[in-house]
């Protein structure tokens, strides 16, 4: 049999890695991506005179072997997250924050050289036999005698095999399937947690890293909020500086201006008026991203149903596979999980066709 035509729904890390692995084995594919950019939950924002700002995935550890192997294969380096030796800890809102000594970290956290989207752009550059279609939100997928038809908001595509890499919650939410997929899959998908999909990231860039000079590091852990975690986010070269962290997701209903003011007010507690002199404030409220977040009918726990065996099967008589970070076995929800899931589906295809 000739090699099958493959359509991959979603141009995040899982979709791009799947296309890359398949291409290495001589398969061609088409990626249909709903947004007008690649990367999905990897989003590196770049502005003049500011370090690359990771508004999505940022950190990895040495245990993330699928991701590390891919980075090595693509010749992309990693560098250690700057933590300093002290951190602010705000255990409770009724007493002031404390500056605490950090123990030596035996298992440090790393960032991707050049920004997390360096991985996305490098994968894209490696694809010679893959057509990447942006702005193609898939709305329905239908199997007939000879092929699978995929309909998007813009166009129609045919394939022998379709691989779904969007978060499982969204496949249930946004795509209609004919014949319908088994309820054993769709019921689980509807209740599968999408990692970080409701988070709020904030970043402030500065001309000088005042937090380093005063030996306080940029690390803050606060139970009082609204900022719950903050870290130094300067570039690897040490020439552009920023602080970046998470705001309690309950603040999603406020305006950007209100969130910026709350961020500054909170950080003044730690660093005084120096925080006022920021070059710019950036934020991403992920629950406003329809191709990442969808509301749940009921309460869902973090990582709920991630890595379920139901995601590992072939559907529609070897025409449909499910991938994406939340389907992975080892580190679902993380970049490593996205790469693992890509390896799993690529192997399923190369083993069979």
Query: Residue numbers of the site for ligand FAD (CB under 6 A)?
Result: 9-15, 32-35, 40-42, 56-60, 137-138, 165-167, 170, 174-175, 195-196, 199, 201, 286, 291-292, 324-325, 333-338
Min dist. Cβ of residue 299 to ligand FAD (A):
20
Min dist. Cβ of residue 198 to ligand FAD (A):
9
- Closest CB to ligand FAD among residues 89, 291: 291
- Closest CB to ligand FAD among residues 59, 82: 59
- Closest CB to ligand FAD among residues 195, 269: 195
Please choose, from the candidates 221, 216, 200, 209, the residue with its C-alpha nearest in 3D space to the C-alpha of residue 277: 209
Min dist. Cβ of residue 206 to ligand FAD (A):
21
DSSP string, 149-193: EEEESS-EEEESEEEE-S-HHHHHHH-EEESPPPHHHHHHHHT--
3-state secondary structure (DSSP) of residue 327: helix
Min dist. Cβ of residue 274 to ligand FAD (A):
26
Length of the chain, please? 353
Q: Tell me how far the alpha carbon of residue 20 is from its chain's centroid.
A: 18
Min dist. Cβ of residue 272 to ligand FAD (A):
28
Q: Which two tokens stand for residue 59?
A: 């950190």
Min dist. Cβ of residue 139 to ligand FAD (A):
7
Q: Tell me how far the alpha carbon of residue 182 is from its chain's centroid.
A: 28
Between CA 82 and CA 215 the distance in angstroms is: 12
- Closest CB to ligand FAD among residues 87, 120: 120
- Closest CB to ligand FAD among residues 125, 273: 125
- Closest CB to ligand FAD among residues 174, 252: 174
Give every CB contact of residue 204 below 8 A, 6+ residues apart in sequence.
Answer: 242, 243, 244, 263, 267, 275, 278, 279, 280, 281, 282
Please choose, from the candidates 318, 345, 15, the residue with its C-alpha nearest in 3D space to the C-alpha of residue 143: 318
- Closest CB to ligand FAD among residues 65, 210: 65
- Give the other-Cβ count within 10 Å of 259's Cβ: 20
Q: Is the dihedral of CA 222, 228, 229, 233 positive or negative?
A: negative
Min dist. Cβ of residue 194 to ligand FAD (A):
7
């Amino acid at each position: 049999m000739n090699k099958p035509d493959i359509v991959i729904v979603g141009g995040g890390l899982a979709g791009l890695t799947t296309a890359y692995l398949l291409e290495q084995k001589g398969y061609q594919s088409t990626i249909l991506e709903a947004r007008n950019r690649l990367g999905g939950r990897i989003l590196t924002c770049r502005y003049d005179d500011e370090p690359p700002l990771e508004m999505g995935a940022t950190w990895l550890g040495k245990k993330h072997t699928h991701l590390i192997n891919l980075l090595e294969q693509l010749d992309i380096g990693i560098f250690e997250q700057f933590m300093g030796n002290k951190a602010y800890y705000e255990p409770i809102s009724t007493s002031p924050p404390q500056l605490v000594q950090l123990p030596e970290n035996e298992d440090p956290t790393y960032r991707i050289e050049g920004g997390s989207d360096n991985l996305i752009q490098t994968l894209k550059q490696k694809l010679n036999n893959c057509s990447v279609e942006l702005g193609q939100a898939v709305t329905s997928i239908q199997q007939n005698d000879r092929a699978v038809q995929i309909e998007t908001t813009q166009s129609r595509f045919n394939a022998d095999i379709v691989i779904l890499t969007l978060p499982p919650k969204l496949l249930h939410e946004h795509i209609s399937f004919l014949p319908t997929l088994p309820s054993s899959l769709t019921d689980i998908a509807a209740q599968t947690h999408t990692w970080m999909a409701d988070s709020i990231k904030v970043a402030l860039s500065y001309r000088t890293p005042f937090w380093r000079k005063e030996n306080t590091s940029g690390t803050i852990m606060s139970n009082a909020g609204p900022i719950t975690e903050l870290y130094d986010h300067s570039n690897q070269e040490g020439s552009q500086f920023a602080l970046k962290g998470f705001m309690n997701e309950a603040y999603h209903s406020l305006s950007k201006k209100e969130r910026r003011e709350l961020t500054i007010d909170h950080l003044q507690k730690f660093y005084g008026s120096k925080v006022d002199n920021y070059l710019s404030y950036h934020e991403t409220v992920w629950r406003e991203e329809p191709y990442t977040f969808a509301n749940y009918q009921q309460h869902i726990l973090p990582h709920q149903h991630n890595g379920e065996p139901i995601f590992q099967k072939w559907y529609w008589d070897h025409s449909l596979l499910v991938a994406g970070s939340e389907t992975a076995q080892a580190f679902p929800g993380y970049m490593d999980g996205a790469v693992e899931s890509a390896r799993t589906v690529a192997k399923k295809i190369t083993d069979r066709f």
